[in-house]
Structure 1
Amino acid sequence: MGTALVTGATAGIGLAFARELAVRGHDLVLVARTMPRLEEVAAELRSAHGVGVEVLVADLSFDVETRLVAQRLADSTRPVDLLVNNAGFGLGHGFLDGDLADEERALDVMVRAVMVLSHAAARAMRERGHGAIINVSSVSGFVVMSSYSAVKSFVTVFTEALANELRGTGVTATALCPGFTRTEFHDRAAMDMSRLPGPLWLDADRLVRDCLADVARGRVLSVPGPAYKATMALLKVTPRPLVRRVSGAIGAGRRTR
């Protein structure tokens, strides 16, 4: 089944990807910041599914560590057939209310690292004539919720541009654009999600399966869940001033508890 490399692989959507890919028989390269948790997840997947699992400790906010992951992706003797750029985090405050260093770290992890790793993977895959890249973006990239929306907007458009370059090579690029998903993501960012209606929450395992089905179909954008598919259709025809006003009201309600 080949080898998949997943960043941010020990929690949330990244862990759901790792588990689903192991179920499907993929060997794995798991990337995260802490070795104990990496080893725990690797042992779980090896035991449950009999797949090979490598671990790479890397903090993608540091360029030198990102480059080490890129070297692994470029290694032709151990080819990676699927890259899942998932690592990321939210900020539970507005752009002007937080530390600029946090904003810069967000750019490093969710913009620079996505570019560096996509570049390494796409070149290696193009040379072999097959492969797939999934960049985890967000529906928030189509609205206006502080700098996180800007970051995810970049990821989506970058992935679309990459997909254009890769057309006809046997390699695909897909931007996964989920909405609110039941993981620890919002708790880590100290966001108050208590008022969000139940139907708007996505299940991470289902989201991953739907995304992999879209990748198999060659889709460039993967938007899981009927509510968010409808939201995307509505956003296409909604005037931007209205998008800004509604986004601002929602964003204010989600910030620090």
Structure 2
Amino acid sequence: MKNTILTLQQRKLNQEKITMLTAYDYTTARLMDESGVDCLLVGDSLGMVMLGYQSTVSVTMEDMIHHSKAVARAAKTAFVVTDLPFMSYHTSAYDAVYNAGRLIQEGQAQAVKLEGGQAFCEHIQLITQASIPVIAHIGLMPQSVLALGGYKVQGKDYNDAKKIVLDALAVEQAGAAAILLECVPAELAKLISELVSIPTIGIGAGVGCDGQVLVYQDMLSMYAGVSSKFVKSFAPIGEQMKQAFKDYCAEVKQQQFPSANHEFAIDSDVMAKIKSEFFISHQG
């Protein structure tokens, strides 16, 4: 059966951990879906890992819709969440609802994710009123990295920790269906997960969250960027891919590929006639 926002809520009630990975294309999303991943996040991280941008702020609505459609086509069971990119919802609550609607209608997402706590509660409330589930992203918010002073753990002192707790309570009250906590101390994330009735998904937020998410290029060692402390490599796929590409190049250059096993045959009489005809034509 297709996972829904109610499925995730039930997971929390049953104390069953939720699994989420980023996905940006049909082939990878299909493999994840068939592997039993609960949720696929079409994150604006695609700006860096798929498009080569320096940060997520260059990602557009068109980028998100394009990749979201591909992932949605592959997700037979997994719940698909798509990010609202930078400046697609900051300008007004109207823009937030309009662009969230585009991700659902054109991108075929089942929910949208936006970065922000108390300051975006009106946006969350209005998007929810439009029957679109919202996942609120708090803690470290990559779209706000310039204002935050870089990619660093959030909530380590009293005031910052209290703000994150208040953000979590506020977005829940505004109607958020789940909360993503990024780069938050594990004990703080565990407390928030106990305080709110909606699921929490952690990335760099410890085991106490209701679920976990990672960028799949990170967990497969495919991305050449700086690896964060919270990332675990589950397989050296990046190195395996590079070796396969090198082997391919070597075999082509040495005429080992394609071999006879990879070729198609033609009847010798047909080939003889073709050669004769074109040889005569050439001589003429």
Q: TM-score range by the shorter chain?
A: 0.3 to 0.5
TM-score for both structures, normalised by structure 2: 0.32
Higher helix proportion: 1
TM-score for both structures, normalised by structure 1: 0.34
> Which structure has the bigger radius of gyration?
2
